[in-house]
Amino acid sequence: MQKGSSLEGFNVLYDGTGNSAATIATKITCHALIDSELVGLVQRYGFGTKKDIPLGKLPELWPFDLIKRPLIAEAQRFIDQVATQGYVARTGPYAFRLWGPYMEKVGAPQDWTPEAGNDFISKQAQQRKATRAFGYQGDEFNLSKGCAFLIQGEFTKKGSLGKVDEQTGVVLV
């Protein structure tokens, strides 16, 4: 069996980092929605807008625990979901950073394909479209009302799990 060369179409795995154990650190943000009645309840008891604070610093007394528990659960679910893509959390969910609550703005509807490029599902499922009706227009957030939170965590991913972008030739992790 003759292997050939890459010029003739022979594909090889190239470790562009030079070290297969190298890791890349990145911050990933998730979006969490909490019941608006709960947010209103804790705001009546003095729960103000949180900007870039660790989840672990939220109070654990009633009624503030009604917000803290679902946010910690959402952060743990976020860790589990991102782990399926090869990311490893650098810290636990209590160290994730929190912003909110804020009110979302309704943007223009956008069609997108959620499973585009996923080789593990059928081609028919890859062609299904979804419509996004919420979006951010600019950097204007109404932080005094609303029930949406942003949770940001620090993750690492092995450099060997990346792929080479065919257009630019850059290794994407």
- Residue 30 sits in the same domain as residue 69: yes
Question: Are residues 62 and 128 both part of a single domain?
Answer: no
Instruction: Please report which confidence band the pLDDT of residue 4 belongs to, taking 50, 70 and 90 as the band edges.
Output: very low
Confidence of residue 6 (pLDDT cuts 50, 70, 90): very low
Strand 23-33 and strand 148-158: pairing?
antiparallel
Q: Are residues 40 and 80 in the same domain?
A: yes
In a domain, 5, yes or no: no
What share of the chain has pLDDT > 90, as a percent? 24
Same domain, residue pair 43 and 75: yes
- 7 occurs within a structural domain: no
Q: Are residues 130 and 67 in the same domain?
A: no
- pLDDT tens for 65-118 read 989 999 999 999 999 999 988 889 999 999 999 998 887 765 666 777 777 777
Q: Are 51 and 57 in contact (CB under 8 A)?
A: no
pLDDT band (50, 70, 90) for residue 129: confident
pLDDT at 122: 76
- pLDDT score recorded for residue 10: 46
Residue in this structure with the two tokens 């650190």, named with its chain if needed: 25
Residue 164 or 102, more confident = 102
Is 168 a residue whose pLDDT tops 60? yes
* Residue 132 and residue 59 share a domain: no
For the stretch 134-163, pLDDT in tens is 554 555 554 455 788 999 999 988 766 566
CA distance 39 to 143: 12
* Domain count within the chain: 2
* Domain ranges, residue 121: 109-140
